[in-house]
Homo-oligomer: A and B are copies of this chain.
Amino acid sequence: MKIAVLPGDGIGPEIVAEAVKVLNALGPKFDLETAPVGGAAYDVAGHPLPPATLELAKKADAILFGAVGDWKYDTLARELRPEQAILGLRKHLELFANFRPAICYDELTAASSLKAEIVGGLDILIIRELNGDIYFGQPRGIRTSELPLFKGAREGYDMMHYSEPEVERIGRVAFEAARKRSKKVCSVDKANVLETSQLWREVMIRVAKEYPDVELSHMYVDNAAMQLVKAPKAFDIVVTGNLFGDILSDEAAMLTGSIGMLPSASLDKNNKGLYEPSHGSAPDIAGKGIANPLATILSAAMMLRYSLAMPLEADRIEAAVQKVLSQGLRTADIFTEGTTKVSTVEMGDAVVAAL
């Protein structure tokens, strides 16, 4: 079982090291191969996603990804910036289904900016389409406007679009996932304004007919942004497009107050996937040994479950994480009075010990 390990920038290398430590402690031998990605790859190879890294990702059974990005690359042309690596991997590997759980751990409810009764026990899953939408739509660019009102002025433009098969496949992913949860899917769009959303909604309704045991509801994206704040527990699975999913999944993650705990998976149609923490590269705390490795460790658990068919090992990791939380161990981001503050490495060691 080959795993491509792409640590990336900022705290990426530190947190990935802990996840690798946990994987190695499980028993089964994984074939782990590391390659640079993001700014780190630009530094050594002149591109955030060098051909060798892409090749490795393609031939691996799964990818364990840290995080990319650092202010020092802000002046680069956009196509050379670290985040292009993640967009490139999603597109080249056809990783179209992004799973982003927003879970509020009992032990960490106090870290949320929301009241305990609003977020306590929160467990929702945002399923975001990753290969389509305005992220990759053509045409796009900056040109001279032809509009009568703005003729001659420069204008930026980007095409949003979704085709029927693209909506269908992410819809199926959501409905299948719902069968393993509470059988409720809320599809989020902006069908009162966008034609893309009108097609999206129509296709969701059609596909839902094949899943009569699953309840489908629809919500406009502005309302979803509100309801997530007001009553997040009313949701179970949310399925949405690439752009709305980018916004709502981050909002949902932040509701929990502990984004340092949240893993994510980006899957292709054969369940090959890229696994990464929901948080970013946090260059401000990189190298200090204080980053929270749990989101990455939990991403490794997701990897075992979804891509490597090792659900028992996934359970073991998740139980170990639960145990270190119960023991009161906390990295700085989730530390509260009365708990024990530990470093990145100490947290990783504690998870290994708890396995």
Residues on B with C-beta less than 8 A from A87 are 193
Q: How far is the CB of A330 from chain B (nearest CB, A)?
A: 18
Residues on B with C-beta less than 8 A from A113 are 114-115, 118, 229-231
**A57 to B189, alpha carbons, bound, how many Å?**
30
Closest-by-CB residue of B relative to A81 is B192
Residues on B with C-beta less than 8 A from A213 are none
**A323 to B306, alpha carbons, bound, how many Å?**
58
Q: Which of B161, B247, B249, B255 contacts A156 (CB 8 A)?
A: B161
Within 8 A of B (CB), among A191-249: 192-200, 221-223, 225-231, 243-244, 246-249
Residues on B with C-beta less than 8 A from A222 are 246-247, 249-250
A136-156 to B contact mask, C-beta < 8 Å, 1/0: 010011100101001001111
Interface residues on A, range: 35 or more
Residues on B with C-beta less than 8 A from A244 are 247
Residues on B with C-beta less than 8 A from A243 are 190
Residues on B with C-beta less than 8 A from A198 are 78, 142, 156
**A243 to B142, alpha carbons, bound, how many Å?**
19
Is A107 close to B, CB under 8 A?
Answer: no
Closest-by-CB residue of B relative to A199 is B156
Residues on B with C-beta less than 8 A from A253 are 226
**A340 to B227, alpha carbons, bound, how many Å?**
27
Chain-B contact segment, one of A16-24, A31-39, A163-171, A314-322: A163-171
**A250 to B83, alpha carbons, bound, how many Å?**
28
**A248 to B225, alpha carbons, bound, how many Å?**
7
Closest-by-CB residue of B relative to A231 is B113
Closest-by-CB residue of B relative to A223 is B250
Question: By the criterion CB–CB under 8 Å, are B165 and A161 in contact?
Answer: no
Q: How far is the CB of A221 from chain B (nearest CB, A)?
A: 6
Closest-by-CB residue of B relative to A135 is B193
**A192 to B81, alpha carbons, bound, how many Å?**
9
Is A160 close to B, CB under 8 A?
Answer: yes
User: Closest 3 interchain pairs by CB?
Assistant: A156-B199, A156-B196, A157-B161
- Interface CB pairs A-B, < 8 A, 23: A78-B198, A113-B118, A113-B230, A114-B115, A140-B195, A142-B195, A153-B163, A153-B164, A155-B161, A155-B163, A156-B197, A156-B198, A157-B160, A157-B196, A158-B160, A158-B194, A158-B196, A159-B160, A221-B247, A229-B229, A229-B251, A229-B255, A244-B247
